[in-house]
Amino acid sequence: MKITDAKIYLNSPGRNYLTIEIHTDEGVIGLGDGTLNGRELAVYSYLKEHLFPSLIGRDPFDTEDIWNFFYRGAYWRRGPVTMTAIGAIDIALWDIKAKALGVPLYKLLGGSSREKVLVYCHASGRDTDHAMEEVAKKRELGYKAIRIQSGVPGMESIYGISKEKDSYEPAKKGELPEEESWNTSKYLNFVPSLFQRARDEFGYDLHFLHDCHHRLTPNEAAQLGKDLEPYKLFWLEDTVPGELQEGLRLIRQRTTTPLAIGEIFNTVYDCQTLITEQLIDYLRMTVSHSGGITPMMKIAAFAAIYHVKIGMHGPSDVSPIALSACLHVSRAINNLGILEYMGYSDKMSEAFPHEIHYKDGHLYTGNAPGLGVEFNKDFAEKHPYQKAYLPINRLEDGTMFHW
Ligand code: GCO
Ligand code: MG
C-alpha cells in the first residue's frame, strides 16, 4: 500500500478544527486531527509545507519509521505545533491500518482491556449554588465523575466559567486574545468550601475533580491539596505550571490529594521525572498533541511501570477524530485512569459522524474499522475558520500571569 495524497481542512462548525485526510493507492483514507486551540494556522502550514511532501509514496503501515522520520528528521524537535502536526499524521496512519485490516483501532493496540471507558464531565457554575445545580444535572445524566469549577466571590472572570452559558469554551473569536484577571488568595480561600458543599449535598459516591489551570506555586498547591483532603478528590489538576517538574515534588511530599498534570505536555521528556519519581497519579497528555498513537502507547507503558495512570485531556478542543483516538487507546491500555469528555453539539456530530457512544458514565467505541469517525466535508466547509484565541491572564495589579 502507498500514500498517494494528503489533504488538509480548517473549518469551524462551532469552533475551529483542523482535519487531515491521507489517501492511499488502495482507496483507503485515514483521518487525523491537528487542532491546537488558537494556533491552528501554525499547525496547518507545518503540515502542508513541511510534512505532507515527505509522505507521498510511503507505506502507511510503517508508522514507527514515519514517526521517527518526522520527529528525529526535523532536527528541531518537540513543541506543541510540531508534535500536533506529527500527531495528526500518525492518527491518520493508524486509521488507515485498522481500516485496511477491517478492525476497530483498539484491536491493533493490544486489544480490549475493558468494554467501556470511565469518563468525567464538567460542571461549571457562576457561584456555588449554580455549580451544585450543574453537578445535579450531570449526575442525572449518569456521570460517575464530575469536574467542578465555580466563579469565585470578588473575581470578575475565571478559567472554566462562562458568564452566559452553562458550558465553557475558552477560545474567544476575534483578532486578539481577551484579558482575564486573577487573585490567588481569593481562589484559595474559596475552593475548599465548594467541595465541602458538594460532599454535603452529594455524599461520597461520585468522583469529584478540580482544575487549577496552572495558577499556583508549589506551596500554594500543597496548601490547597491539604485543605481538600477531607473531600477525597479523584484528582487535583494542573496545580502549578507544567514546565518545572521538580515543583510537583514539593506538592507530593505535603499532600495525599491525587495529582494530575500533562495537557500541555507533548513528549515524554516533559514528564519523565514526574513518572519515574512517582510525583503524580495521573498523566493527562492527549494523543493528538503528543505526536499521535505511536508515542502515546509507549508513554502509557512507561507510566504503568511507575503506578501512574492515564487520564487523557479530551475537551471539545480536540475533534471527534482525536477523541476517538484517545478512546481506543484508553480501551486498550492496562493503566487507564479516566478520560475527559465534554460531548459534542449536533452540528459537530454532523460534521464528524462518529461511533463514540456515551452511556451511564462511560464511553464506548463502536466496531467500525479504524477510528469509527467520518468527515462530512461538504457540511464542514460551510463553516469556515474564524480566528479565535485563548485568553491571557493578569494579576489584579496588571502583572502578566499564567492563564
Ligand atoms: C481541560 C483544559 C482545557 C483547556 C483547553 C485549552 O482540562 O479540559 O484545561 O479546558 O483550557 O484545552 O484549549
Ligand atoms: Mg485542564
Mean of the per-residue pLDDT values for the chain? 97
My answer on whether 169 and 284 are in the same domain is yes
Number of domains in the chain: 2
**Domain assignment of residue 393, yes or no:** no
- Res. 315 pLDDT band, cuts 50 70 90: confident
Q: Is 213 a catalytic residue?
A: yes
My answer on whether 115 and 221 are in the same domain is yes
My answer on whether 216 and 354 are in the same domain is yes
My answer on whether 162 and 253 are in the same domain is yes
Supply the pTM of this predicted model: 0.98
- Res. 164 pLDDT band, cuts 50 70 90: confident
Active-site option among 159, 187, 231, 282:
159
**Domain assignment of residue 36, yes or no:** yes
pLDDT the model gives residue 169: 86
Q: Residue 262 CA: which ligand is closest?
A: 2
- The mean per-residue pLDDT over the stretch 50-71 comes to 98
Rg of the chain over CA atoms, in angstroms?
20
Q: Which of 73, 88, 104 lies at the terminal end of a domain, its last residue?
A: 104
My answer on whether 72 and 215 are in the same domain is no
Residues 340-346: contacts with CB under 8 Å, at least 24 apart = 340/119, 340/120, 340/147, 340/284, 340/311, 340/312, 340/313, 340/314, 340/315, 341/119, 341/120, 341/121, 341/314, 342/121, 342/122, 342/167, 342/314, 342/315, 342/316, 343/121, 343/316, 344/316, 344/320, 345/14
Q: Quick: pLDDT tens for 2-42.
A: 999 999 999 999 999 999 999 999 999 999 999 999 999 99
Written as one letter, the residue type at 391 is: P
**Domain assignment of residue 376, yes or no:** no
Q: What percent of the chain has pLDDT over 70?
A: 100
My answer on whether 12 and 74 are in the same domain is yes
- Res. 166 pLDDT band, cuts 50 70 90: confident
My answer on whether 112 and 58 are in the same domain is no
Active-site option among 23, 122, 210, 213:
213
Distance, in Å, from the CA atom of 30 to the CA atom of 374, rounded to the nearest integer, reads 9
My answer on whether 74 and 170 are in the same domain is no
My answer on whether 223 and 356 are in the same domain is yes
**Domain assignment of residue 278, yes or no:** yes
My answer on whether 170 and 58 are in the same domain is no
Q: Which of 61, 89, 104 lies at the terminal end of a domain, its last residue?
A: 104
Detail the DSSP E strand segments found in 220-375.
Answer: 235-237, 259-261, 282-283, 309-310, 339-340, 357-359, 362-364
Nearest to 124 by CA among 138, 114, 103, 141: 138
Q: Is 207 a catalytic residue?
A: no
My answer on whether 161 and 84 are in the same domain is no
CATH number of the domain that residue 10 is part of: 3.30.390.10
**Domain assignment of residue 403, yes or no:** no
Range of the domain at 265: 108-369
**Domain assignment of residue 395, yes or no:** no
**Domain assignment of residue 129, yes or no:** yes
pLDDT the model gives residue 163: 83
Q: Quick: pLDDT tens for 237-281.
A: 999 999 999 999 999 999 999 999 999 999 999 999 999 999 999
pLDDT tops 90 at residue 394: yes
Give distance in angstroms: CA of 208 to centre of ligand 2: 14
Q: Quick: pLDDT tens for 177-187.
A: 999 999 999 99
Which ligand 1 atom is at minimum distance from the Cα of 159?
11
